[in-house]
Amino acid sequence: MVKKAQQSVNHLPSLQALRAFDALAKLGSLTEAADYLSLTRSAISHQLKLLESQLNIRLYERRGRGVILTPAGQLYASEVRGVLQSLERIHANLPDQEYNGHLHVCVPPGFAASVISRYINDFYRAYPTIRLHLSTNREDETVNQPNFDLFVVFSDGVYTDQHVELLAQPMYHPVCSPTLLNELDIAHPRDLDRATLLHLHDAHDWQLWLAACANKNQIKVESGLYFSNVLLVLQAALSGQGIAIGDDVVCGDSLRHGQLVRPFSEKIPSDRAYYLVTPHSRLDDPNVQAFSDWTKKLLGGLLGASVPSA
């Protein structure tokens, strides 16, 4: 059985012979097919004779200055075209070998957990030769750490010695679990005095949002619970412990899946934004460009999806 299989493999036509026949079938002329493939007429004639000899069938006949395909040749031509098109698609989808080696990216914890980590396998499937290392940063860390190739930051975007590109300008709005919303029967910002407010570091985000709402003076904005990490704030909100100020980037998936809801329609632009920050020495790195492009495309798709209000 092995010997028979080996003989079959050895009798498979060469790719060059198949391309020669495909060109002849499309153009109907040995001369034009030779020009199309940048071969001499005798070279393409040799490939076609070799193919007919291997198949033991006549594929074409001369007719005047051109050629016509035999019935068997017409059938074979359609099959060959399909094979060549399949090979072209395979070649087009092969990963670019310039994408290789290690890539170290530093991102905010909330962005890493709620956005990047939920879709990161899509990046791996697109760029399997890149060895991606994801780390989270602290707010007091700078973007000048030499062990990272690329940063995603949530800040004012002022970095004079780095390349800075806006990723997303999020919108602020309160978020809470559907269960808590039903329990507290909250319908208006003035009803927030019945809820526990969840804060990240300080009351700044709540103050910013309430400044745009009516009856803001009735709310004791400094009351509630304070957390040092946005993931703790989000988990408390998901668990029904209180109402937090979230944004449509970090909270987007939880809102779309109904794990969080927006009790009010009012939303305001954040006073900060998500930025890509890249050392100038890394700008031309294909791995950096690949992750940057993928992240921008991902955010564009997520922010384009609708997020329901309660």
In a shared domain, residues 109 and 29 = no
Position 46 in a domain: yes
Please indicate, yes or no, whether residues 239 and 292 belong to a single structural domain of this protein: no
Question: Domain check: are 254 and 293 in the same one?
Answer: no
Angle of the 117-126 helix axis to the 286-304 helix axis, nearest 10: 130
283 falls within a domain = yes
Q: What is the token pair recorded at 116? A: 């990047």
* 140 and 280 both lie in a single domain: yes
**Full residue range of the structural domain in which residue 177 is found:** 171-269
Q: How many domains does the chain have?
A: 3
Burial annotation 8-47 (CB, 10 A radius, 16+ → b, else e)? eeeeebeeebbbbbbbbbebbbbebbbebbebeeeebbeb
For residue 160, tell me if it sits in a domain.
Answer: yes
Same domain, 175 and 227: yes
Predicted local confidence at residue 244, as pLDDT: 95
Shared domain for 60 and 196, answered yes or no, is no
**Residue 201 shares a structural domain with residue 68:** no
pTM: 0.64
For 309, residues 6+ apart whose C-beta sits below 8 A from its C-beta are 261, 262, 264, 265
Does 144 fall in a domain? yes
Domain match, 7 and 85 both:
yes
Instruction: Identify the CATH number of the domain in which residue 77 sits.
Output: 1.10.10.10
- DSSP strand pairing (130-136 vs 101-107): parallel
- Same domain? For 50 and 15 the reply is yes
Measured between alpha carbons, how far apart are the two ends of the chain, in Å?
68
Assign 3-state DSSP to the chain and report helix, strand, coil percentages, each to 5. Answer: 45, 20, 35
Is residue 67 situated within a structural domain? yes
Instruction: Kindly calculate the radius of gyration of the chain based on its CA atoms and give it in whole angstroms.
Output: 31
SS3 of 242-255: CEEEEECCCCHHHH
Helix axes 15-27, 41-55, angle to 10 degrees: 110
End of a domain among 41, 73, 93?
Answer: 93
> At 192, which CATH number?
3.40.190.10
The answer to whether residue 310 sits within a structural domain is: no
In a domain, 309, yes or no: no
- 256 plus 205 within the same structural domain: yes
- Residue 139, pLDDT score: 59
**48 and 123 belong to one structural domain:** no
Q: Which portions of the chain are predicted below pLDDT 70?
A: 1-11, 91-97, 138-142, 214-218, 305-310
Q: Does 208 fall in a domain?
A: yes
Of 34, 67, 93, the domain-final residue? 93
Last residue of a domain, one of 58, 93, 128: 93
Is residue 197 a contact partner of residue 222, using CB atoms and an 8 Å limit? no
CB 163 within 8 A of CB 277: yes
**The dihedral formed by the CA atoms of 215, 218, 223 and 227, expressed in degrees to the nearest 10:** 0
* Residues 33 and 87 reside in one and the same domain: yes
